[in-house]
């Protein structure tokens, strides 16, 4: 982890650094899963840059997995169209009755 001198970060900078929306950060903060905001007064809130960086380094890293790799598909399968759900699992359209069709005219 790089050594960060502690400084205050405003909303836009925290968003740019974490890519989390304000609402998502709020939910995580309420659960104790994101650094708490620091109220400077009035409507001004900031976060500690050091705490944000530590939080980011504590997160598990997601790895890119090509689509279909987990299913044992090969790269040449990418040219094939995606399989559709069986007909009995697809949502059904409501068939209109004769009086309903006449009412639309």
Q: Give the model confidence (pLDDT) of 9-57 as tens digits.
A: 999 999 999 999 999 999 999 999 999 999 999 899 999 999 999 999 8
Are the beta carbons of 29 and 55 closer than 8 angstroms?
no
Domain-embedded: residue 14: yes
pTM above 0.95, yes or no: no
On whether residue 95 sits in a domain, the answer given is no
16 lies in some domain: yes
C-alpha span between 99 and 104 (Å, rounded): 9
Would residue 53 count as lying in a domain?
A: yes
Domain count, the chain: 1
Q: Which residues constitute the domain of residue 19?
A: 8-58
Give a yes or no: residue 87 inside a domain.
no
Q: Does any domain span residue 65?
A: no
Are 18 and 52 spatial neighbours (Cβ–Cβ below 8 Å)? yes
pLDDT tens string 59-89: 887 666 666 655 555 555 555 556 665 655 5
Residue 83 domain-assigned (yes or no)? no
The reply to whether 43 falls in a domain is yes
């Amino acid at each position: 982890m790089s050594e960060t001198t502690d400084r205050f970060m405003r909303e836009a900078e925290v968003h740019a650094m974490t890519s989390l929306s304000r609402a998502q950060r709020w939910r995580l903060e309420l659960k104790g899963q994101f650094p708490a905001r620091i109220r400077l007064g009035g409507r001004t809130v900031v976060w500690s840059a050091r705490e944000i960086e530590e939080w980011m380094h504590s997160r598990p890293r997601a790895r890119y997995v090509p689509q279909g790799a987990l299913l044992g598909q090969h790269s040449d399968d990418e040219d094939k169209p995606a399989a559709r759900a069986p007909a009995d699992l697809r949502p059904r359209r409501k068939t209109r009755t004769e009086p309903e069709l006449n009412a639309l005219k």
